[in-house]
Structure 1
């Protein structure tokens, strides 16, 4: 019986590639053929490969660079075999020390290659796709990831805490996928702070036709929609106090009654709540019900802010870039800037920076200006990186002037512009601005003082 083997072949030589693909087909293997490193990364992100077979020399990057970037982007890689010329043997041996599985020198025996592929494929399960490739590589995220399978098997009520933007929904989705009902069961997410009190009740519990003006049809609430799966209540700390007692009753009874209805409906689901608030403190301030707090806080998972787990920064950035623009790379200067930035908006801010960089960068390399140059006016981008016909300062297209300040100063100035712009858009309202930036009001206040932004004129 032939093994069910999925191979990713990364080879730019058309003759070699066609020969290998023909042999793989004869063996009954499933194979994908990428002819550049970037194309190989796109296939690798989809997951499911038992073995990667890559040439050491590719048209857009070296095989060693491809392996190093992939190893930095994924916690688990399939066995990786290299095809190399005699002159690159030392390079291949060095990669073995970094985790590569094996290498073959040209010319090689095809039967020996097939035997190696079968051997390595049987020893290791297929690598996961990028969205399933873990939560992070920092010790804190590894601990959370290690606990999730056990928690998902038994826990029905979970509270996830952490600053805005740290990835609470990402953890909730991972929890859901590991639950016994798993894939195929509904995962419904709702932001409790995004609805006025009157609309939040109908959003959570549903409503009957005619229950209020505009209720032209009966609608299920998110509790009913999540029946048999997982309901994720984000920003539970912002829920109006009067709504909390209604939520408590539903959690206790596992039954909901639609607005305008009389019949109670049984629901069976996992409830995951999340907040950036200190719920214990809000309990003492009479802003959050103590009995509801204890109902929600059966199992608590705390996610540290990104600045406290800097090991995750480049790992996440490369994942985001692979999804947004797999043909582009972060420059060394850009990577260093990412590592030193404070990330007040956490993972959400990092994702937006990478996506912005992928759009604004000229060419395949993403620099600091593309990542942090928020203000685009006409054909100019603040930070001397042009997307139109002229760069700031009347420089020629693509030509950058010599830096006039330190990298830290540039990042600080970019952050100041970003916060000032958000304040302007929110009419100086601190609470609204903090929400828009994904940080706490206290954090925003401290940053404004540090960056020399007026705190006296801002509205509380």
Structure 2
């Protein structure tokens, strides 16, 4: 009797009493804890009372046969392994049961050694699958922080910094390109702080009309302006005791920058049209995809407000700069969107996914995965499910022309595509280092920043 055997519970299901007794005695001798019932209905009732690692069941039984029991197990207890017993000459049914999810089958009459081996293998396989699930969970915990996912050094450093600053009261500025997950960073800070039980209130500063933004943030009194039919609490009040997340802070109008600065300095505010001073009991986190230092230099963002916001900066790198995280992200989002435990990705599909530059970052990756879930085969992601631009079927950058097309062409558009293609190739060759890319193209660092910005490509990435 082995220690490993003693940790396994087996249920024998057979309408023949002699078979139940034989299997029970044999399995007890092997050290397994074993129960026995006469049919599938009794087995279902027993499963409500106790979990079993393995079920050995006859196929032909009254009331509920082996196939009915197998279906029940897969719906209610999919982690339980099942072995089917079939009479000699009825192996077709047993093979069909394996297709439906049974681990294996044994044919009457059978040898004791055959049963021992099949039972041992079934339990080992179940243990291995359970260990794999636990390993995946552990990897998920190790390489995630809240809903952030990534094992790259940049993401691991970010997790460490979030843990260090979450418990503080300082203002935080989250930076990164559009679609990198800046709000997820803000939520990770909030839910790891002592304000986690308070509200997390987000607002996109660029999505609210300027004439409504003050009322949205600070609230208003009844009659403060046309249409103010009743008093309204602003988001600074709604977020009291929690965190206020100001997304796209770079879009904040100049007048609102002044008002926000005063709130940060005085930690209090008034509703529009009001005289009562209200304490601002919020933790402020702002985010932007702009270079606020450049905005300050251009006079579009207040320097004093920038320094108030930029006490701690958390930067999210674009997806193209942390490609080692893509398989992990792919697995994470595919599992969430499909409800399946895992996905098999063909070599060709993974190569396309890793080679793509992902200008839309995580947001674009999620959209692609959602498409693959709808169009692809269950549990498998192949090249055919990828959108045309990932399969290299998008409109290619035009090469040199031997002659002007009969229909003519848009010269600015044609030259723009060539310029953008060369910029991207230079960045790829230089490993994303802008200064080296500029040298490859024979232009200045300032010039490559301007050209990248012109095509909507983040010009920031290193200091001049």
- The answer on whether the counterparts of 1:157 and 1:296 sit within 8 Å (CA) in structure 2 is yes
Q: What is the root-mean-square deviation of aligned Cα atoms in Å?
A: 4.5
Structure-2 residue corresponding to 1:262: 275
CA change 1:238–1:364 in 2 (3 A) is same
Match of 2:163 among 149, 153, 157: 149
Distance 1:157 1:127 in 2: 27
Structure-2 residue corresponding to 1:300: 313
Structure-1 residue corresponding to 2:380: 365
What TM-score do the two structures reach when normalised by structure 1? 0.58
Any idea what the Cα deviations from partners look like across 1:21-56, whole Å, max 9, x if unmatched? 63359xxxxxxx99569997xxxxxxxxxxxx6759
CA change 1:415–1:96 in 2 (3 A) is farther
Structure-1 residue corresponding to 2:225: 212
CA change 1:447–1:150 in 2 (3 A) is closer
Distance 1:164 1:38 in 2: 42
Structure-2 residue corresponding to 1:386: none
Structure-1 residue corresponding to 2:245: 232
CA change 1:284–1:349 in 2 (3 A) is same
CA change 1:361–1:272 in 2 (3 A) is same
Any idea what the Cα deviations from partners look like across 1:110-146, whole Å, max 9, x if unmatched? xxxxxxxxxxxxxx9x979x99465322221111112
Secondary structure at the aligned position of 1:154 is classed as coil
CA change 1:235–1:217 in 2 (3 A) is same
Equivalent runs, 1:370-449 vs 2, <5 Å: 370-372=385-387, 409-410=392-393, 412-413=394-395, 445-446=454-455
Any idea what the Cα deviations from partners look like across 1:41-82, whole Å, max 9, x if unmatched? xxxxxxxxxxxx67599978999xxxxxxxxxxxxxxxxxxx
Any idea what the Cα deviations from partners look like across 1:302-359, whole Å, max 9, x if unmatched? 1100111112222222222222212484531333322221110111111111122223
Bigger mean CA offset, 211-220 vs 279-288? 211-220
Q: Tell me the matched-pair count.
A: 320
CA change 1:181–1:34 in 2 (3 A) is farther
Secondary structure at the aligned position of 1:335 is classed as helix
Distance 2:362 2:75 in 1: 27
Structure-2 residue corresponding to 1:402: none
- The answer on whether the counterparts of 2:244 and 2:284 sit within 8 Å (CA) in structure 1 is yes
CA change 1:209–1:21 in 2 (3 A) is same
Structure-2 residue corresponding to 1:120: none
CA change 1:340–1:92 in 2 (3 A) is farther
CA change 1:369–1:34 in 2 (3 A) is farther
Higher RCO structure (Cα 8 Å, ≥6 apart) = 1
Structure-1 residue corresponding to 2:35: none
Deviation at 1:286, TM superposition (A): 0.3
Match of 1:334 among 346, 349, 355: 349
Structure-2 residue corresponding to 1:198: 211
1:324 aligned to 2:307? no
- The answer on whether the counterparts of 1:148 and 1:175 sit within 8 Å (CA) in structure 2 is yes
CA change 1:363–1:287 in 2 (3 A) is same
1:159 aligned to 2:173? yes
Segments of structure 2 that go 5 or more residues without pairing to the other structure are: 1-8, 14-39, 53-70, 84-97, 104-116, 399-448, 458-464
CA change 1:367–1:17 in 2 (3 A) is farther
What TM-score do the two structures reach when normalised by structure 2? 0.58
Structure-1 residue corresponding to 2:301: 288
Structure-2 residue corresponding to 1:345: 360
Structure-2 residue corresponding to 1:70: none
- The answer on whether the counterparts of 1:176 and 1:187 sit within 8 Å (CA) in structure 2 is yes
